[in-house]
A = this chain, B = another copy of it.
Amino acid sequence: MHRFRVWAPNAQTMKLKLANALLAMTGPDKMGWWQLEVADAVPGVDYAYCIDDDETPYPDPRSLWQPNGVHGASRIYDHSSFSWSDATFMAPLLADAIIYELHIGTFISQGTLDAAIGKLEYLVDLGITHVELMPVAAFAGDRGWGYDGVALFAVYEPYGGPDALKRFVDAAHGKGLAVLLDVVYNHFGPVGNYTGKFGPYLVESHRTPWGGAVNLEDAGSCEVRRFFCDNALMWLRDFHLDGLRLDAVHAFIDRSAIHFLEQLSTEVESLAAEQQRRLTLIAESDSNDPRVVTRRASGGWGMDAQWSDDFHHALFSVLNAGPREGYYEDFGALEQLAKAIEETFVYDGIYSRYRDRIHGKVAKGLPQDRFVACIQNHDQVGNRAIGDRLRQIVGFDRARIAAAILATSPFVPLVFQGEEWAASTPFQYFADHDDPEMARAVSNGRKEEFRAFGWDPRSIPDPEAASTLNNSKLDWEEVSRGQHEEMLRWYRELFRLRKSKLSLHGRPPRCPRVTFNEGERWFTIERDDLTIVCNLGLVDRTLAAPFPKKILLASRAGVEIVQDAITLAPDTLIVLG
């Protein structure tokens, strides 16, 4: 027996298509739901819905399984059939976390969750505590980053479908690794989104970069918010995920007295209490708004953490001498990197030229471990014209310096797949919009976008080509070779240092103090018993005593104390303690 339920408040009739039968459903009830109990509908059986006079069968917006893609029938799936072995697992504290962001399709050559299990031990050795999966909710086509999901309750079939995700999480838990999932609640993908047939999931009164905004505040929003909250709860409860990374929450339009994120954090906190688990919500926010990670009782939305781009922008702009386009025009000074490290937000209520408006608000009082920082995430690599990485842009020495600044930062560090061995493979933008017009628009749009920055369009990888995904796959062969191996060793040392020093991730961590010389391009970061010194200038810089007697780590060989002084060559960083 299966009880079908679907929300379609404006439908006049609703039929369940089961095999070749069309069964009339009962509804809508007061809140707009239709339902039907069918005795012989069991897990594995396919179904779809027909609305009003439209004879097209549409997949269930809450489908748990789309074995034939997002346009096909939904399949009944039973969450209770999986045998979990992670009863004793407890996720590490976020304050102690080192996060590894990966994309299943490129992390491992097979591009499946099951294959990725084989690399979990490697991640443990690296020092990772949390794996963060880029979105796995079903999207159209044979490949993609995952941000164009449309069947948000179903696991993308090419990755292995729902059971594969459970196997992955269970295996990770078995190795002591927590798993976070990237979820996209600010829009639906442009292809295969049938939710509009069912109800007011979107409103046209507000436009986002992806079209109408998700309906979080207008008529019907009650059930739309339930849709997303239930989705979050499902991943955490039924897939045992330890947390979610919420894509681009700045794109939400929600002026309700109870913001969607406040509702979500309340519900997730209840689930955590009920299940005695550590569940984490991390928002990607471009607002520089402390409200995001402020506790609800203090008027905030209660996210556990948020991504903080200012650290990346400041660090990248200091390391990269090249032209500063886009948001980089707002950065470039050591003073800004110092401010990012000390106060989290560089733009904290000041004018931003790039945005041509006042941006952000002071976050100084907030614990800095409520912010996730990175050298580069998937966006910052992948949204570059050719998807090249920091190592290719600023060189080996500076990439090592970046890693050390991240690892000793007061933030929760996030590593993007392959960064730890300075992978030579790019991470490019790829998609497979199985709608020829959309595919052409995406391909041309990207070429035009970069032509504006002076690129030859022919050098831009075609996002819709299968080769673009293939080029972006990590080459695990190179891990043990030359500078790659050297970089990996450096990351391991850095993370070992971070884990061994509570001063780096205490709760709450002490605020770092940064001193710098803008003209000579050197700076010093004081973190309790550690001192980080970096020379980005053109000439050697000598550090005279007194300083902590011991060089714990150095970004290049041969740095030593000679007659109570240390000389740092250009592009060198040391950690003293």
Contacts and interface: CB of A to CB of B under 8 A. Distances in A.
A570 interface: no
Contacts of A257: 287-291, 349, 359-361
Contact of A220 (B256, B300, B357, B360): B357
B253 A357 contact: no
Contacts of A358: 221-222, 225, 256, 258
Contacts of A258: 349, 358, 360-361
A205 interface: yes
Per assembly, the copies of the chain total 2
A370 to B, nearest CB: 15
A184 to B, nearest CB: 18
B357 A219 contact: yes
A361 B58 CA distance: 37
Contacts of A355: 219
Interface string A249-282: 0101101111000000000000000000000000
A interface bracket (residues with beta carbon within 8 Å of B): 35 or more
Contacts of A356: 219-220, 222
B294 A299 contact: yes
Contacts of A287: 255-257
Residue among A220, A256, A351 with max Cβ neighbours from chain B (10 Å): A256
Contacts of A349: 257-258
Contacts of A496: none
Nearest to A215: B357
A217 interface: yes
B256 A253 contact: no
A176 B218 CA distance: 44
Nearest to A300: B299
B300 A357 contact: no
Contacts of A220: 356-357
Contacts of A291: 257, 299
A349 to B, nearest CB: 6
A500 interface: no
Contacts of A222: 351, 356-358
A210 to B, nearest CB: 12
Contacts of A501: none
A550 interface: no
Contacts of A360: 257-258
A446 to B, nearest CB: 22
Interface in A351-405: 351, 355-361
A102 to B, nearest CB: 30
Contacts of A217: 357
A573 to B, nearest CB: 32
A207 interface: yes
A489 interface: no
A58 to B, nearest CB: 23
A351 B256 CA distance: 12
A287 B258 CA distance: 10
B357 A221 contact: yes
A298 interface: yes
A360 B262 CA distance: 13
Contacts of A205: 206-207
Contacts of A289: 255-257
A250 B255 contact: yes
A256 B289 CA distance: 7
Contacts of A221: 357-358
Contacts of A252: 255
14 contacts: A220-B356, A220-B357, A222-B356, A225-B358, A250-B255, A253-B255, A256-B287, A256-B289, A256-B358, A257-B287, A257-B291, A257-B360, A258-B349, A258-B358
Given A206-B253, A219-B355, A220-B357, 5 more contacts: A205-B206, A206-B206, A250-B255, A257-B287, A299-B300
Please provide the 8 A-B residue pairs with the shortest distance between their CB atoms, ordered closest to farther.
A299-B299, A257-B289, A257-B361, A219-B356, A205-B207, A221-B357, A222-B357, A257-B360
